[in-house]
Structure 1
Amino acid sequence: AAYVSVMDQYGYQIGKVIGRGSYGTVYEAYFTKQKVTVAIKIISKKKASEDYLNKFLPREIQVMKSLRHKHLIAFYQTIETTSRHYIIMELAPSGDVLEWIQKSGPCSEALAGKWFSQLTLGIAYLHSKGAVHRDLKLENLLLDKRENVKISDFGFAKMVMPQSQPAPSPSYHMMSCFAHLSQTYCGSFAYACPEILLGLPYNPFLSDTWSMGVILYTLVVAHLPFDDTNLKKLLRETQREVAFPANQPVCDECKDLVRRLLRQASKRLNILEVLKTGWVLKFVAEKPTAEIKALEAV
């Protein structure tokens, strides 16, 4: 294939396919100049939509370039040719959390605590930079060789205006934000908050924390809290308090955190509140002083 020679010129030896997205394929590759293995997302300009190439892709690259955190997949380089875009990133060699759960079932409290607190630190960093992810789900939580979480796939991420700047008008901003999102939630209804499902203007920071609630529930129960096969049923379910199966031992602190994430936006925890909950702090490797400070400044 033509792309192999392009990659050769830059010193990348393409290996096996490790993922497929709607417009791109992700390969494992060996970077000969630095003797490291990386992940390369190759996007064909012929296959991708105009909208994706002109709007989402530049945004994904802009967001990734401006972020650096141990729980986010690191961005190394982007290369553009006449027919393709190549995004070179950190490789997470141990698969994703969805695969782990499909294979091993519900996580122990300790493992759920480890992964969820790492997700919380990564999103706290993201939100403190004025960015939102908007597509958090188990398959976007990759695992490094020590099985630490690396948040991936910034295809729908964007920098939201920091609150300090005067916006054109709140409703205008929220609507433009929404117009974008209604197309965005194509593949992940099960993780989408009720306000998105209802087509209402919403706060994208709180849509991320709702998705975190869905993730935490699934870590400890091993299935999604809401059935997304039927949209009407899904809407009904997301507006009721979430139920836990009686036969599975989930601690009350953890259940309580899930319930405070899976509730209407006006009562839902934001990322700073999540970071300060006792259950999360119990599992954080070191006290998240920097993340808390950065969020309080915003």
Structure 2
Amino acid sequence: MGKGDTLEIAPTPSAYRSVMEEYGYEMGKVIGNGSYGTVYEAYYTKQKVMVAVKIISKKKASEDYLNKFLPREIQVMKVLRHKYLINFYQAIETTSRVYIILELAQGGDVLEWIQRDLKLENLLLDKRENVKISDFGFAKMVPSNQRMHSSPSYRQMNCFTHLSQTYCGSFAYACPEILLGLPYNPFLSDTWSMGVILYTLVVARLPFDDTNLKKLLKETQKEVTFPSNYSISQECKNLVLQTLCQATKRATILDIIKDPWVLKFQPEQPTHEIRLLEAMCQPPSTPNRHQSLEINT
């Protein structure tokens, strides 16, 4: 979690403090607030490191969140380990609250590095200004092709055919399918959001106006434009255009990781990641625009 806008410097409630002290955490200041709880900075005395503690109130949270999305979030965070993801350390549950202990991103969030009114709070910065992704509240586990050899029907559940129907996220970052309330491919909705973030990083404003849903829907159906007073490479523009388009033509995560503009910034070829994504993103046998991504054996 990041040290973004400090919303308050109130004393830590004694109920929080006593539970956390029992586990070896010295609570510090508030560094964020959400719908169901608060994020605090804390010092873990056993390891002598600073951490973030996300405290979720069971009284404030909806039943759907507590029974469905929160367990999913914890399950996903437990198995994710990557240098560009916020690390999960521990979850503690009491009768009235859930405490989630996470890596503290001491550089704050990317929001602060662009302009104050953009929603990029889930991209955090460590003390060396490396980007770390946080907040897996709506993440879920999807079986990969490699685990599905027994049933032919299950073999089709991959990044081309799996559909979701949980309509979540901010309008400004949501793909047209979500805005229309249609079943959507979550892998492709994520690449749309990546396109919104990339556009915002290079242009310093969101590509679409989300103040009016009808206008937003109309804008997302058209090709995004770039301001003429910004010097943006054609390679970068091409990548944005490939992500901010209709789902049938939209770039997959495999397309993105193999994109020339993306590869230009990699210290080395991401061979391992490409191999894993190729295994996961093999399309069904029916020919389509991604047929060339199949692994040749």
Q: TM-score range by the shorter chain?
A: 0.7 to 0.9
Q: 1:199: which partner in 2? A: 181
Structure 1 position 33 matched with structure 2 position 46: yes
* Distance across 1 between alignment mates of 2:182 and 2:103: 36
Of 267, 275, 280, which aligns to 1:293?
Answer: 275
CA contact (8 A) 1:14 1:29 kept: yes
Structure 1 position 282 matched with structure 2 position 295: no
Q: 1:121: which partner in 2? A: none
Q: Give aligned pairs, total.
A: 258
* Distance across 2 between alignment mates of 1:167 and 1:190: 33
Q: Deviation per CA, 1:90-143, whole angstroms, max 9, x where unpaired? A: 00011111111016x9xxxxxxxxxxxxxxxxxxxxxxxxxxxxxxx6210000
Of 56, 63, 69, which aligns to 1:56?
Answer: 69
Of 18, 22, 31, which aligns to 1:9?
Answer: 22
Please state how far the C-alpha of 1:193 moved relative to its aligned partner: 0.4
TM-score (norm. length: structure 2): 0.83
Of 75, 86, 89, which aligns to 2:99?
Answer: 86
* Distance across 1 between alignment mates of 2:61 and 2:18: 22
Q: Deviation per CA, 1:181-228, whole angstroms, max 9, x where unpaired? A: 22x23xx10000011111112110000000000000000000000000
State the structure with more CA Rg. Answer: 2
Query: Which ranges in structure 2 are unaligned for 5 or more consecutive residues?
Result: 1-13, 281-297
Runs of 4+ with deviation above 6 angstroms: none
Please state how far the C-alpha of 1:76 moved relative to its aligned partner: 0.4
Q: 2:34: which partner in 1? A: 21
Structure 1 position 265 matched with structure 2 position 278: no
Please state how far the C-alpha of 1:285 moved relative to its aligned partner: 2.5
Does the C-alpha gap of structure 1 residues 141 and 241 become closer, same or farther in structure 2, counting only changes over 3 Å? same
Structure 1 position 46 matched with structure 2 position 59: yes
The residue matched to 2:200 in structure 1 has which SS? helix
Please state how far the C-alpha of 1:161 moved relative to its aligned partner: 3.5
CA contact (8 A) 2:91 2:99 kept: yes
Query: Which ranges in structure 1 are unaligned for 5 or more consecutive residues?
Result: 106-136
Q: 2:218: which partner in 1? A: 236
Please state how far the C-alpha of 1:162 moved relative to its aligned partner: 3.0
The residue matched to 2:267 in structure 1 has which SS? coil
* Distance across 2 between alignment mates of 1:264 and 1:230: 20
The residue matched to 2:232 in structure 1 has which SS? coil
CA contact (8 A) 1:174 1:201 kept: no
Structure 1 position 153 matched with structure 2 position 135: yes
Paired letter, 2:126? D
TM-score (norm. length: structure 1): 0.83
* Distance across 1 between alignment mates of 2:162 and 2:273: 26
Please state how far the C-alpha of 1:159 moved relative to its aligned partner: 1.0
* Distance across 2 between alignment mates of 1:2 and 1:86: 12
Compare the two structures and name the one with the higher helix fraction. 1
Does the C-alpha gap of structure 1 residues 281 and 169 become closer, same or farther in structure 2, counting only changes over 3 Å? closer
Q: 1:112: which partner in 2? A: none
* Distance across 2 between alignment mates of 1:25 and 1:286: 39
**Sequence identity (%):** 73
Please state how far the C-alpha of 1:24 moved relative to its aligned partner: 1.8
The residue matched to 1:26 in structure 2 has which SS? strand
Q: 2:78: which partner in 1? A: 65
The residue matched to 1:17 in structure 2 has which SS? strand
The residue matched to 2:248 in structure 1 has which SS? helix
Q: Deviation per CA, 1:147-205, whole angstroms, max 9, x where unpaired? A: 111000001111124354635998xx967x21xx22x23xx100000111111121100
Q: 2:283: which partner in 1? A: none
